[in-house]
Amino acid sequence: MIRKITMLLLLLFTISYAQEDAWVHLTDKPNEAAALADPISILTQKAIDRKQNHGIAIDGRDVPVHEAYISDLKTQTGITVLAKSKWLNAVHVRGSEVDISALSSLPYVETIDFANNSLDVSSRSSHSQVNSDIEDETVDFTYGNTQNQVEMINADNLHVDDFTGEGITIAVMDSGFPNVNTMAAFQRLRDNGDILGGYDFVTRNADVYANTASSHGTRVLSTMAGFIQDQFVGTAPDASYYLFLTEDATSENPVEESYWVEAAERADSLGVDMINTSLGYRVFDNSNYDYTPADMDGETTYITKGASIAAEKGILVVVSAGNSGATAWQTVGAPADSPDVLSVGGVDENGDYVSFSSQGGAAQIGYQKPDVVARGGLAFVVDENNAIVQNNGTSFSAPILCGGIASLWQAIPDATPTEVMDFVRQSASQFTMPNDMLGFGIPDLALARSLGLGETSIENINIYPNPVKDNLYVELPTQLVHSEVIIYNQLGQKVLQTVLNTNSEAINVESLEAGFYVLKLSSETNFRTFKFVRCSN
DSSP 25-41: EES--TTHHHHHHSGGG
- The pLDDT, as a whole number, for residue 203 is 96
Residues 456-534, CATH architecture: Sandwich (2.60)
The C-alpha angle 397, 386, 179, rounded to 5 degrees, equals 95
- The pLDDT, as a whole number, for residue 524 is 60
> Closest by alpha carbon to 324, among 284, 354, 294?
354
- The pLDDT, as a whole number, for residue 529 is 73
| Cβ–Cβ < 8 Å for 296, 364 | yes
Residue 207 CB: number of other CB atoms within 10 A? 12
| Cβ–Cβ < 8 Å for 134, 395 | yes
- The pLDDT, as a whole number, for residue 458 is 56
Task: Compute φ and ψ for 286, nearest 5 degrees.
Answer: -95, 110
Given the residues 357, 395, 407, 429, select the one marked as catalytic: 395
Given the residues 62, 133, 156, 174, select the one marked as catalytic: 174
Given the residues 66, 92, 159, 216, select the one marked as catalytic: 216
CATH 3.40.50.12160 fits 2-29+64-119, yes or no: no
| Cβ–Cβ < 8 Å for 223, 403 | yes
Report d(CA 198, CA 177) in Å as an integer. Answer: 10
Amino acid, single-letter form, for residue 175: S
Q: Do domains 2-29+64-119 and 456-534 have the same CATH topology?
A: no
- The pLDDT, as a whole number, for residue 207 is 96
Report d(CA 486, CA 468) in Å as an integer. Answer: 16
- The pLDDT, as a whole number, for residue 519 is 84
174 catalytically annotated:
yes
216 catalytically annotated:
yes
Amino acid, single-letter form, for residue 126: S
- The pLDDT, as a whole number, for residue 466 is 86
Packed helices 255-269 and 302-312: angle between N→C axes, nearest 10 degrees:
10
- The pLDDT, as a whole number, for residue 4 is 43
Task: Compute φ and ψ for 218, nearest 5 degrees.
Answer: -60, -45
The C-alpha angle 344, 346, 348, rounded to 5 degrees, equals 150
- The pLDDT, as a whole number, for residue 292 is 97
Task: Give the right CATH number for 144-452 from 3.40.50.10470, 3.20.20.70, 3.90.1200.10, 3.40.50.200.
Answer: 3.40.50.200
The model's pTM is 0.79
The C-alpha angle 68, 69, 71, rounded to 5 degrees, equals 65
Task: Compute φ and ψ for 239, nearest 5 degrees.
Answer: -75, 170
- The pLDDT, as a whole number, for residue 432 is 80
- The pLDDT, as a whole number, for residue 451 is 85
HEC per residue, 75-139: HCCCCEEEEEECCCCEEEEEECHHHHHHHHHCCCEEEEEECCHHHCCCCCCCCCCCCCCCCCCCC
Check the CA dihedral 295-299-305-308 and report its sign.
Answer: positive
| Cβ–Cβ < 8 Å for 442, 492 | yes
Query: Which helix (H) or strand (E) segment is 67 a member of?
Result: helix 67-75
395 catalytically annotated:
yes
Residue boundaries of the structural domains of the chain: 2-29+64-119, 144-452, 456-534
Q: Please list the residues that pair with 347 across neighbouring strands.
A: 353, 375
Q: Enumerate residue ranges in the chain where pLDDT < 70.
A: 1-17, 121-139, 455-460, 478-482, 490-492, 503, 523-527, 537
Q: 396-445, pLDDT tens digit by residue?
A: 999 999 999 999 999 999 999 999 999 999 899 888 889 999 999 999 99
